[in-house]
Amino acid sequence: MIKRTRRTMMFLNAQRASLIKDAYVYQPDTVILDLEDAVSPREKDSARIQLYHTLKSIDYMGVERWVRINEPHTPYYKEDIRAAIAGGAEGIRLPMTETVDQVLLVEKLMGEAEKEFNVPFGSTMIMAAIESPLGLINAYDIASSTPRMMGIALSAGDYRRTMQAIETKTGEELFYARSQIVVAARAAGVMAFDSVYTDLDDFDSLREETKLIKNMGFDGKSIISPKQIATIHDVFTPTQNEIDRAINIVKGVKESEEAGIGVLIIDGKMVDIAHVEGAKRILKLAQAANKYKGDLV
């Protein structure tokens, strides 16, 4: 069961003050302040300083704040971790994750930084980006490697490159990776996130891709533009019929249990305790969209 809705996770260049100072007004569920791809090597130090001051000084009005650090083989990632935790980020996104050892190395440094900056130990989460064949093979081990692991995410650009795959409009080259990531995430009890959709003006295709990944079981999608938020949130927002059915399922199953009945019929279909988790998930998503005010979640 999801504890927090993360339908959209919006990447922002940590160095661009004009972009990050009021990003919360677009109401993504999460922002990811990027120290990796968005920042050139000669600007890494200045971006890290900007990141720290951003985290310390800007009220994001409840929008979750994550930091994408540089890869562990670079000279930058250790200071990235210290700056993120000193600033108070909720989590760290680890790029190009291929092995459990990478996760455990970052976890160790996070613990040291939490102690250094008087942050409660273990409170900073990890999200692992799966971007290569090796990472995909190890997806379950990565997803289950630490209690800090909040979720795993597909990063399609590098995945296509390392697979020598051709990008298609329909995304068939990603179907296996998406399936494996959702399976690994569910087996490990963490969340699953899809890759960015890079055509910022094609909202119809964005909607269809979001419907696909929602139906596959993903919890949300990385994005690179606030223009994409409304479309993705709309797809992930349950309809009133779905909300009403979910309410009926949760209430009906509870009443049937109390009466000693194992199954019941709702809208002509048999439901039982196995349907309750999915119904509560629908209500949680409806709650995030301010379409449900109840307490059945």
Structural domains for the chain: 8-236 (3.20.20.60), 240-288 (no CATH)
CB 210 within 8 Å of CB 183: no
How confident is the chain (297 residues) per 10-residue block, as mean pLDDT? 81 80 86 93 93 92 95 96 97 98 98 98 98 98 98 97 94 96 98 96 96 96 96 93 86 74 70 79 85 81
pLDDT of the residue at 198 = 94
Residue 20 pLDDT? 78
pLDDT, residue 252, reads 77
- The whole-number pLDDT of residue 1 equals 40
SS (H, E, C) the chain: CCCCCCCEEEEEECCCHHHHCCHHHHCCCEEEEECCCCCCHHHHHHHHHHHHHHHHHCCCCCCEEEEECCCCCCCCHHHHHHHHHHHCCCEEEECCCCCHHHHHHHHHHHHHHHHHCCCCCCCCEEEEEECCHHHHHCHHHHHCCCCCEEEEEECHHHHHHHHCCCCCCCCHHHHHHHHHHHHHHHHHCCEEEECCCCCCCCHHHHHHHHHHHHHHCCCEEEECCHHHHHHHHHHHCCCHHHHHHHHHHHHHHHHHHHCCCCCEEECCEEECHHHHHHHHHHHHHHHHCCCCCCCCC
